[in-house]
Amino acid sequence: MGSFGCNFTCGFCQNHQISQVKAPSNFITKEKLVELILTVENNIGIAFTYNEPSIWFEYIYEVSKLLKEMNEKAAVVLVTNGYISEEPLKMLLPYVDAMNIDLKSYNNKYYNEICGGNLRPVLKTIEIANKSCHVEVTTLLVSNENDSMEEVEDIAKFLNSINNDIPLHLSRYFPRYKMDNPPTSVGDMLRAEKVAKKYLNRVSLGNI
């Protein structure tokens, strides 16, 4: 489930039609949403994704809390850029089963110039979330921006310092939105996978 808007302005955003503009939408109350989650056949829970979940924190918190009160086995998943303050993160985590967190770079300049944010809060989110729920990390390797083997190694070392079983998904970039860099080469993706596997047990490639 998603909404619209984001607290980043990434030039390569794959969901810019909803993250960077106010897209057509329909509001559903938390009670109606939880009822839907629990009554759809074979449904196991809810994933908050598409745009950044943390910018509609209050709604996600209320839905997740109510869902767990109604059925503690129902899964709550967040697909997030991790750019959230510690206090609301810690409020939400007791009701979250898993998070896929984007670690867009290990370079604060990249976060400043490409994403319109800062690196440190994202690193802190990964550290805190790992203590509470299942965490996976996704890094989009953008050609000529964050695709050096040195940076891949820095990311892998950081995750290793927390938990070397954190799955790292290295995703191949294609031109999107405002960015027209050429697609990241398959060769670089394979080299990045090899580097990351020196430090992490679970590394996979995407968009190959």
Give the confidence band of 20 by pLDDT, cuts at 50, 70, 90: low
- How far apart CA 189 and CA 20 sit, in angstroms, is 28
Q: Architecture of 16-206 per CATH?
A: Alpha-Beta Barrel (3.20)
Furthest C-alpha separation in the chain: 49
Q: Reduced to 3 states, what is the DSSP secondary structure of residue 176?
A: strand
- How far apart CA 69 and CA 35 sit, in angstroms, is 12
What is the signed CA dihedral for 157, 138, 129, 73, rounded to 10 degrees?
Answer: -140
Q: Reduced to 3 states, what is the DSSP secondary structure of residue 4?
A: coil
- How far apart CA 56 and CA 190 sit, in angstroms, is 37
Retrieve residue 12's tokens.
């390569």
Query: Where are the domains positioned within the chain?
Result: 16-206
pLDDT score recorded for residue 4: 79
For the beta carbon of residue 114, count every other beta carbon within 10 angstroms. Answer: 21
Mean predicted confidence (pLDDT) in 135-147 = 97
pLDDT digits (tens, 9 = 90+) for 61-118: 999 999 999 999 999 999 999 999 999 999 999 999 999 999 999 999 999 999 999 9
- How far apart CA 157 and CA 197 sit, in angstroms, is 10
